Amino acid sequence: MVQLFNKMRELLFLPQTVKPVQETKENISVPVFNAVEMALLTQYGSCKQYAGPALCLLFVADTHGCIRNEDEELMRNTKRQYDAVFLLGDHFYNDLWNIVNIVPEDIPVYGILGNHNTAALYKEFNKQSPRNIIQLDNGVHELLGIRIAVFTGSSKYKESADRIMFSQDEMKNIMQQYPHADIVFSHDGPAPSQYRNQAHYGFEAITEYIYKEHIPYCIHGHNHTDYRRKLANDAMDICVYQSQLITLAPV
């Protein structure tokens, strides 16, 4: 029965549930690297260590209209610890209302669009809310003393006129305009992800950018699982599901 259930999940392009990877060096997932990554490693070498300011950031991803109780508790119980909130996409209006009602007014909230959002999500919300969510579009943004490369939406797995999805070539063309950044925040992650189906394959452009710019961290959502894995250049791919409090500190 379990095998049949897992097979059905694959056919539906849903990521299989796996246990979250603990934040210890011994338990970080180290995948088998493909030829493309090894070629990028040969060309660009290892990533650099994070050298920006110490920051405590709250990331929220893929709430899809239903924030779990434990995630609301995390937002409330740590709200004087984090310096900013980053929404990584696939949120609905009720999620946004819940989040801005919890986060203190002096803490900025930034929003990245997911593939289940329309381009107007945050702008329409801001028309109704006394508190704005600052939308971050594709590009490099200088915030909180660091340069953040943002990639919105997901790799295109179906035709949709109003959802935020890009073909691999489209995102590569967008990425070519990016200057250097210190870190990547995105909805989808680097390709290939640990899920090799069409809907959750990831962006090849993010992978190339991480290697070319020696990015130490890529923090994203989309895969509905908390995990951490190292790329071949020692960059850390961090996937967030619902919420995570992450501390960045220079080494």
Q: Calculate the alpha carbon distances from 203 to 30, 175, 187, 223 in Å.
A: 19, 10, 10, 13
Domain ranges of the chain: 32-248
H/E stretch holding 78 reads none
**For residue 53, is the peptide bond before it cis, meaning its omega torsion is within 30 degrees of 0?**
no
SS3 for 116-172 is: CCCCCHHHHHHHHCCCCCEECCCEEEEECCEEEEEECCEECCCCCCCCCEECHHHHH
What is the model's pLDDT at position 34? 82
For CA atoms 172, 177, 182, 184, give the dihedral sign: negative
Name the CATH superfamily, with its identifier, for domain 32-248: Metallo-dependent phosphatases (3.60.21.10)
Structure tokens at 139: 């590009």
What is the model's pLDDT at position 32? 60
What is the model's pLDDT at position 3? 42
What is the model's pLDDT at position 31? 56
Residue recorded with tokens 């950018």: 209
What is the model's pLDDT at position 6? 37
What is the model's pLDDT at position 4? 35
**Up-side HSE of residue 17: CA atoms within 13 Å toward CB?**
3
Buried/exposed code over 114-146 (b: 16+ C-beta within 10 A; e: otherwise):
bbbbeeebbeebbeeeeeebebbebbbbebbeb
What is the model's pLDDT at position 33? 72
- Averaged pLDDT, groups of 10, the chain, 251 residues long: 36 34 44 82 96 97 95 92 97 96 96 95 95 97 98 90 91 97 98 80 96 98 95 96 96 78
What is the model's pLDDT at position 48? 96
